[in-house]
């Protein structure tokens, strides 16, 4: 018989809860680095985020450029979480499982397209500034 353990995080309060939540977040980022899609996007982020400080002229531009990259990573984390939850349910094919995974994938695609649109616009404006 499987024993279901109570979630101790729900009993924590104050600073203890924050410290433990931070630890779980770090564990999640470490786990995500084993996912090929997240790893690729993280490598791109390590290049683009510092580049946003060069390309952006104001704090708003820098925030949009770097924020759009972080948004892609965030959506990828959520998509990976959805896929993990679906995979936990079972390996068999089901239409609703496929739909859930497809919707998560579509969300990642939209976040990437948004990021690309912001970066391409910023690059275009930077290039035409010198012409």
Residue 48, CA distances (Å) to 16, 26, 52, 119 in order: 35, 22, 6, 9
Domain boundaries, the chain: 35-129
Q: Which of the residues are catalytic?
A: 76
Average pLDDT over residues 5-28: 84
The per-residue b/e assignment along 120-131, b for 16 or more CB within 10 angstroms, e otherwise, is eebeeeeeeeee
pLDDT in tens, 87-125: 998 888 899 999 999 999 999 999 999 999 999 999 999
CA atoms within 13 A on the CB side of 82: 19
Q: With 0.85 as the threshold, say if the pTM is over it.
A: yes
Distance CA 82, CA 96 (A): 12
Q: Could you confirm whether domain 35-129 is CATH 3.40.50.1860?
A: no
């Amino acid at each position: 018989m499987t024993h279901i353990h109570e979630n101790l995080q729900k009993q924590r309060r104050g600073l203890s809860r924050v410290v433990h939540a931070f630890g779980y977040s770090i564990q999640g980022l470490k786990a995500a680095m084993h996912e090929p899609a997240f790893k690729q996007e993280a490598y791109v982020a390590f290049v683009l985020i510092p580049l946003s400080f060069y390309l952006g002229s104001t704090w708003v531009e820098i925030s949009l450029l770097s924020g759009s990259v972080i948004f892609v990573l965030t959506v990828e984390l959520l998509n990976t979480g959805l896929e993990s939850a679906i995979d936990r349910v079972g390996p068999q094919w089901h239409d609703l499982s496929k739909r859930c995974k497809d919707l998560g994938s579509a969300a990642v695609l939209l976040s990437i397209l948004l990021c690309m649109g912001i970066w391409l616009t910023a690059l275009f404006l930077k290039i035409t500034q010198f012409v």
